[in-house]
Structure 1
Amino acid sequence: MSTPILLWLRRDLRLGDHPALTEACKAGGPVIPVFIRDGIVDGYGAAPKWRLGEGLAALDASFRDKGSRLILRSGNALETLQELIEETGAGAVYWTRLYDPDTRERDTDIKSALKEQDIDAQSFHGHLMFEPWTSETKTGGFYKVYTPFWKSNRDRDVDTPLPTPGSIPAPSSWPASETLADWQLGKAMDRGADVVARYANVGERAASSRLGSFIAHGVAGYDANRDLPWKSGTSNLSENLSLGEISPRTCWHAGMQAMQDGKAGAETFLKELVWREFAYHLMFHTPRITTGNWREEWDAFPWNTDERLAEVKAWKQGRTGIRFVDAGMREMYTTGRMHNRTRMIVASYLCKHLMTHWKVGMKWFEDCLIDWDPASNAMGWQWSAGSGPDATPYFRVFNPVTQLDKFDKDRRYVGTWLAEPYSKKASEALEYFDAIPRQWNMAPHDSYPEPIVTADKGRKRALGAYENRKF
């Protein structure tokens, strides 16, 4: 092929193990990488949108190291691609498949429209290890429970990651590009962007380094350490996997090698990678998981949906008076991430102690997390609320006080992220006040609040509501 190929980048911001890029380079003609800021991108929350901008800047630098560059355009995705085809004479558009409902609908329409114009429109795997339609139960349906899903997929062959192309053929002239500065993807973050930036691990090279360090120093103790929020016991790769700065296949093969080397926590790490796959498997087969109760019998449950309530505002601001919850909410606002154990605690507290709909929490996480992922976020919240597949039972209500004693016995975690209760305040705890909106009117020397709902009272209220419903 001598005509250019448009490589439409989305959540695959890397050069290594990139099937669409590899095939485009093999075709022999020029490759024009492009990212389109369309309505789906504009709908991202504040932190994910800011983090996307950082990732795009890193990706452009990687392309330029190869003599290429990233073209930025904004507008309707189909119309923008058609304009670029007209400008460049491109005969093909390649991209990596995504699986959320809005993207699937958009991509299906685009592929159909381009093919009608005799444009070679191809989508490739790369965001997942296993395509959702390739995992079926013995009766032919999709998996609704994680454990059999894991058992079905753990021994499947995962293709070896593709190498980074040695060169990327460039066109004789480049189409015009918009600029990240003009896009202002971090505008909604306001002053919080400078704080969160200190904790972000941006780009393919940083992701690869993070994986290498985890495999070398962290995976052996992963089983024990991953539940301790004060300890750096996880891979922290969710941020990079979300935007495709590293591929799940690369992580899988690193984990498999670690398991073969006898590193104790490697299999648990592999299970977590498959948990991510399970979330996408469910989103593909039951797209309602992103917008409504997966278990429809929960539709009548009387959750609060009013985000203006004082209790909900206190939860968002880390002012519930429950230290484990507040530390987690402040960690998220300061770093853009939250430890997984803590995510379960803060979600349970909102949905069960405060009797507030999981959609409220899911939306707030979507605005605050730099590792936001549409499938994992939806499944995680519904798991915590009890309304999802393979969910925590409705009668299981995490006690945030006893959980703190179990997983943060010496209060290292809450001491890192809470300022008010302590005379000697950690620098991380103080950063929170540099990140939050000024109108929250919070200061590190404020009095720490009494619990808005105690652990015991919240549990009794939740169980009472559950017992009066039929599930």
Structure 2
Amino acid sequence: MSDKVSIFWFRRDLRIDDNVGFLEALKGTQQVLPIFIFDTEILGKLKKDDSRVSFIHDQIQKIRKELQQKGSSLAVYHGKPLEIFKDLAKKYNILKVYTNRDYEPYSRQRDEEIKDFLSTENISFKTFKDQVIFEQDEIVKKDGDPYVVYTPYMKLWKEKFKETDLKVHYTSSHLDNLVQNTRLPNLSLGDIGFERSNLEIPDYDVSPTLIADYEKKRNFPAKDATSRLGVHLRFGTVGLRKIIKKANTEENKTFLEELIWREFFMQILYHFPNTVTEAFKPKYDRIDWRNNEGEFEKWKEGKTGYPLVDAGMRQLNTIGFMHNRVRMLTASFLCKHLLIDWRWGEAYFAEKLLDYEMASNVGNWQWAAGSGVDAAPYFRIFNPTTQIEKFDKERKYIKEWIGEIDTNEYPGEMVDHKEARERALSTYKSALNG
């Protein structure tokens, strides 16, 4: 068995700089073996050409190349993380395992199992806060309960943030503490049973201009004035602290507040993991959903006859992204106009969205259905036609995504708005009052 090493386990933090756990590992006394595990528990649920897997693979190869310039590399494995760690414990004399915390239910359970195993081998498991500014119980009410309304959470977040010395963590001066081996195990996409996706993930934009104009332009899908940060924050290809430093301006608070929404939903998921499958407000699980599969297919394909809904779904199906204003409309349409269970829509977005983040996806779908924390009242039902007047008056976004919009090929409205609204109100009322 070789000299003692520490392991740093890359996960949702696919970058070298501004990576808290990686820096802590490098500052230790042992040489650091960096690893990444393609988790079969997660990959088994994905399609073979899932763009997110291609994106992750590309980022890993970039990290490998960067570390190889320092005489090291990144070891890449494929399997169940617990089994991988059992093998590593036989191969290396491991003293500590470092990683950054993840707050999703599966990740927490996985980490507990790995921590338990490592403790039997006298290996310590050290985790760090990296993907959020505040976590777990750092922003809570005076009695210690979590906030379930955004505005007071956001206000306390901002107060605490003023007292925070926000540091960006640079690793460059510590990289000589890596295991010196440029030929650590590597895997191709084919080795893990995947193929390269044709879908490109665009870079993010957090320029001063975008942030300054964000409030003014963010609700208009044709302007494409959003940052596209979601996927990069999801996989940690950019450090949140760098983004917060840029977003924390007096001129525009809205961009920062959107980042706070992300942390709000993360702490909701942490404190209420049951909300992945159950309504936060339990009486909403009494709703008698129609769950018509044919209507669900029309919604998925963007053939509802409501142009702004259809443009959004076609954008999602084509590029794996949908403008946030349109996400709210398509979700509301599914739950209210079609009375299809929000969990169906949440699962479809999870499959298609490149920036899929469980906490935000579940939180926003429950918001649309009226069943979540701080949700819109159930009787608030978006009118998909007047939304065009408000947010795509010149129909630029609609024309971009629906080629046949002004022809006989475009389908008629699958439901009448007024009738669908009345049906939704009646169904919700009987469930909530029953």
Match of 2:63 in 1: 62
Question: In structure 1, the residue corresponding to 2:9 is in which secondary structure?
Answer: strand
Q: Residue 42 of structure 1 corresponds to which residue in structure 2?
A: 43
Q: What residue is the counterpart of 1:454 in the other structure?
A: 416
Structure 2 residue 218 is matched with structure 1 residue 226: yes
**1:161 and 2:168 are equivalent in the alignment:** yes
Question: Kindly tell me: are residues 393 and 130 of structure 1, through their superposed partners in 2, closer, same or farther at Cα, counting changes over 3 Å?
Answer: same
Residue in structure 1 matching 2:386, options 380, 398, 402: 402
3-state secondary structure, aligned to 1:447: coil
Deviation at 1:304, TM superposition (A): 3.0
Shift of 1:460: 1.6
Q: Which moved further from structure 2: 400-409 or 2-11?
A: 2-11
For 2:326 and 2:180, how far apart are their aligned partners in 1?
52
TM-score with structure 2 setting the length: 0.92
2:279 aligned partner: 293
Which residue identity is paired with 2:166?
A: D
Does residue 389 (structure 1) correspond to residue 373 (structure 2)? The answer is yes
Cα deviation for residue 28 of structure 1 reads: 4.2
- Which residue of 375, 379, 398 corresponds with 2:363? 379
Aligned to 2:75: 71
TM-superposed CA distance for 1:305, in Å, is 3.9
Query: Residue 77 of structure 1: CA displacement?
Result: 0.8
TM-score by length of 1: 0.85
Residue 19 of structure 1 pairs with residue 20 of structure 2? yes
Q: Which residue of 1 aligns with 2:267?
A: 281
State whether structure 2 residue 332 is matched by structure 1 residue 332. no
Distance 1:111 1:54 in 2: 28
Structure 1 vs Structure 2: percent identity of aligned residues? 34
Task: Tell me if 1:245 matches 2:252.
Answer: no
Q: Which residue of 1 aligns with 2:401?
A: 417
User: 1:365 & 1:467 partners in 2: Cα distance?
Assistant: 27
Deviation at 1:158, TM superposition (A): 5.5
Which residue is equivalent to 1:128? 132
Q: How does 1:78-117 map to 2 (within 5 A)?
A: 78-117=82-121
Aligned pairs, number: 424
For 1:387, what is the secondary structure of its paired residue? coil
Go from structure 1 to structure 2 and tell me whether the alpha carbon gap of 1:405 and 1:186 turns closer, same or farther (over 3 Å shift): farther
CA deviation profile, 1:102-128 (whole Å, cap 9, x unmatched): 110110121121022111211111011
- In the alignment, the residues of structure 2 paired with residue 232 and residue 138 of structure 1 have an alpha-carbon distance, to the nearest angstrom, of 41
Distance in 2 (alpha carbons) for counterparts of 1:127 and 1:40: 22
Alignment partner for residue 142 of structure 2, among 138, 162, 166?
138
Task: Report SS of the residue matched to 1:73.
Answer: strand
RMSD: 2.1
More off after superposition, 121-130 vs 245-254: 245-254
Instruction: Please give the secondary structure, in 2, of the residue aligned with 1:6.
Output: strand
Shift of 1:422: 4.5
Paired position in structure 1 for 2:191: 182
Instruction: Give 1:12 shift.
Output: 1.1
In the alignment, the residues of structure 1 paired with residue 413 and residue 98 of structure 2 have an alpha-carbon distance, to the nearest angstrom, of 53
Instruction: Call closer, same or farther: CA 1:304–1:398 in 2, change over 3 Å.
Output: same
| 1:333-359 residue CA offsets vs partner (Å, 9 max, x unmatched) | 111111100000000000000000000
Distance between the aligned counterparts of 1:87 and 1:246, measured in 2? 32
The 2-side partners of 1:319 and 1:158 are apart by: 50
Q: Following TM superposition, by how much is the alpha carbon of 1:452 offset from its aligned partner in structure 2, in angstroms?
A: 0.7
Q: Distance in 1 between matches of 2:113 and 2:106?
A: 11
Q: 1:93, CA displacement in angstroms? A: 1.2
Confirm or deny that 1:118 pairs with 2:110: no
SS in 2 for 1:95: strand
5+ long unaligned stretches in structure 2: none
* 1:364 aligns to 2:348 (yes or no): yes
Structure 2 residue identity aligned to 1:457: E
Return the alpha-carbon distance in structure 2 between the equivalents of residues 185 and 253 of structure 1: 37
Is residue 171 of structure 1 aligned with residue 179 of structure 2? yes
Mapped partners of 2:341, 2:240: distance in 1: 31
Letter of the 2:381 partner, please give it: V
